[in-house]
Amino acid sequence: MTQAERRHDRLAVRLSLIISRLVAGETLSMNKLAAEFGVSVRTLRRDFRERLIYLDLEYQNGCCRLRAGTGAQAELDVLTFAHRTGMAGLFPGLDRRLVSLLLSCEDAPCLTADAITITRPSASLSFYRLIKAITGCLRVTLLADGQRCERLAPYRLIVQQNIWYLIAEHNGCPVVFTLDEIHVVQPLTELFRRNERLYRLTEDLNFIRALPHFGSVQRSLNTLSLP
């Protein structure tokens, strides 16, 4: 195990223990936590500021606790589960807002397939806007590497081999983008009606497995169609 991996494991354990204690109703002292985990108070404050920002906490005299009466225990339970199991890194920008959106929709706007944890950062805002557009059947304007898609109809986000793919419809044709190549997602107010055949295709395991090759196949078909 590399030094970076050991540091990541210590961070995961630290965050998991902190979350479990907060959920249990404990009031945590920054100084005592720093001594327990062998880190500085400054490091702990960065943990709370950057990694635990989704928690509704109140601070007083160097201590913190979960604010009572938030009315959002379900979202907090999901976030706690995600962090304890290491799944939080799979969803870009996972916070209470995104969890609430996922819990409120009747369908499944994204599928994780056979993925493991994604450790690199990704486009959190684009991910959230796409989820919101998928659940609301709203068109978007999308800017990706080398192209601009107006009135794109997003269908689903699927992770395959640790890469998130957007499956969408543009001008009546299916299109696929990786989340990494998407630079801007601009939500529109225009609704779209899903093509159920294409939507169900996104649940097909063979289709999901072929996602990494979709771009190459699409480019080949475009070349063949040229006069």
DSSP 135-151: HHTEEEEEEETTEEEEE
Q: Does residue 212 contact residue 161 with C-beta atoms inside 8 Å?
A: yes
Residue range 10-69, pLDDT digits in tens? 777 787 778 767 766 788 899 998 888 888 999 888 888 877 776 778 888 889 887 765
Query: pLDDT band at 219, cuts 50/70/90?
Result: low
- More confident site: 167 or 56: 167
Of 90, 15, 1, give the one whose Cα is nearest residue 54: 15
Domain boundaries, the chain: 3-76, 105-224
Predicted confidence at residue 156, as pLDDT, reads 92
Q: Which fold has domain 3-76?
A: Arc Repressor Mutant, subunit A (1.10.10)
pLDDT at 92 over 70: yes
Global confidence as pTM: 0.55
> Does residue 161 have a pLDDT over 80?
no
